[in-house]
């Protein structure tokens, strides 16, 4: 089988620098040789391939676009390209790296004390320490301001009580960046594994993101030392800014899954011979579906590339990310569904990656802001009217 190449219909590659192309190729080779071969079994057994964590670190995939403290410090386009290649393997693999970099390392990097940065960031970048991000609750998903987790000032620190749900990496984490209300104001806290009153439980039975560890976090009279509160994050701006970082990576990442499904459908259509000896690809309906896939991927590529250039210039805003995340997740899932249809019965077996990508994208389209919520963010920006309530 020929080496994988992503769709380049509008000469997308010519818009990338040599360094960006080199980063993409190195991650592409890594995913092809080391990640994809283990995914079928991991997906079947609902296990995360922890043996790959040191390799993620070696490849610079943990905190890719952060600077200092042992982080790679690459530009945001190179980071986006790396997430795209990771998600070509599996959304759960990209989620692991995305949470580590954007939701654990970023808040410490942006809002932590110098002591916190020195203590945690180098180890997180090396993969010696794993982190998770505790914001979502059973009754507070799209409305994080409705969180019920509370923090109370006590002697020597803060006592936390509450529960977090749908937490990626939770049960394999050494630290958790948890958000709680302190005197009515949202604050961030770093909870280390083994802290009394802090426990985790694994969420089982998922039909999606089976390669990813999804957990609940439980805090019952959990006392966090005073020095473990993020000093520079006050209010919802802190956790929402972290989500903006993660959503940026998702907008790129899902194009990897879309590319994988498109190429699988194209290869299958060329090889699948029908009644009159012609391949499926020779029929109008098949070509129309493939043309739709190629068109939507190309449009989405150009959207995230501009987003990345804006991020590097410092002009990107959260509503720009909402447009890209909402659009690209939608088209990726649409493409996965069309590819599944084109493969017929073969589309539902894991000999082919399409059904795994399709199921994963059902989650990715929902988490870190549903498509409807992102539409409302864009709607507020273009009308000046908030329609969330």
The separation between the first and the last C-alpha atoms of the chain, rounded to the nearest angstrom, is 52
Contacts of residue 283, Cβ cutoff 8 Å, sequence gap at least 6: 274
Q: Are 349 and 339 within 8 A, CB to CB?
A: no
Q: Residue 385: is it exposed, middle or buried by C-beta count within 10 angstroms (0-12/13-18/19+)?
A: exposed
**What CA–CA distance (Å, rounded) separates 245 from 251?**
10
CA 361 vs. chain centroid, Å, equals 11
Reply yes or no on whether 85 is catalytic: no
**What CA–CA distance (Å, rounded) separates 85 from 62?**
14
Residue 365: how many CB atoms within 10 A of its CB?
A: 21
**Catalytic residue from among 20, 85, 216, 368:** 368
Q: Residue 344: is it exposed, middle or buried by C-beta count within 10 angstroms (0-12/13-18/19+)?
A: exposed
**What CA–CA distance (Å, rounded) separates 346 from 332?**
20
Taking the alpha carbons of 23, 24, 25, 27 in that order, is the dihedral positive or negative? positive
**What CA–CA distance (Å, rounded) separates 143 from 208?**
23
Q: Which residues are catalytic?
A: 368
């Amino acid at each position: 089988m020929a080496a994988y190449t992503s769709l380049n219909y509008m000469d997308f590659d010519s818009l990338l620098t040599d360094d960006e192309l080199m980063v993409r190729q190195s991650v592409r080779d890594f995913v092809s040789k080391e990640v994809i071969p283990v995914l079928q079994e991991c997906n079947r057994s609902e296990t995360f391939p922890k043996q790959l964590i040191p390799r993620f670190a070696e490849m610079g995939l943990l905190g890719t676009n952060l600077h200092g403290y042992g982080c790679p410090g690459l530009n945001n386009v190179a980071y986006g390209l790396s997430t795209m290649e990771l998600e070509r393997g599996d959304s759960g693999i990209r989620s692991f790296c995305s949470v580590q970099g954007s939701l654990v390392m970023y808040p410490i990097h942006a809002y932590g004390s110098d002591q916190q940065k020195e203590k945690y960031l180098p180890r997180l970048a090396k993969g010696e320490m794993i982190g998770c991000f505790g914001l979502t609750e059973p009754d507070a998903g799209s409305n994080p301001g409705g969180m019920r987790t509370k923090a109370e000032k006590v002697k020597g620190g803060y006592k936390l009580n509450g529960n977090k749900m749908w937490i990626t990496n939770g049960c394999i984490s050494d630290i958790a960046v948890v958000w709680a209300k302190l005197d009515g104001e949202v604050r961030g806290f770093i909870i280390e594994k083994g802290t009394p009153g802090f426990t985790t439980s694994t969420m089982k039975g998922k039909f999606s993101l089976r390669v990813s560890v999804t957990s609940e976090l439980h805090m019952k009279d959990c006392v966090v030392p005073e020095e473990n509160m993020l000093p520079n994050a006050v209010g919802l701006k802190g956790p929402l800014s972290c989500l903006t970082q993660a959503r940026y990576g998702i907008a790129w990442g899902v194009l990897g899954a879309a590319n994988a499904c498109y190429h699988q459908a194209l290869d299958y259509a060329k090889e699948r011979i029908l009644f009159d000896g012609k391949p499926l690809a020779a029929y109008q309906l098949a070509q129309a579906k493939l043309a739709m896939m190629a068109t939507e991927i190309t449009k989405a590529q150009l959207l995230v590339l501009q987003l990345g250039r804006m991020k590097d210039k410092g002009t990107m805003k959260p509503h720009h990310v909402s447009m890209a995340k909402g659009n690209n997740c939608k088209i990726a899932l649409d493409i996965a569904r069309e590819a599944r249809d084109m493969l017929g019965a073969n589309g539902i077996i894991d000999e082919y990656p399409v059904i795994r990508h399709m199921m994963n994208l059902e989650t990715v389209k929902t988490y870190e802001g549903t498509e409807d919520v992102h539409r409302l963010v864009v709607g507020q920006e273009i009308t000046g009217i908030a329609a969330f309530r």
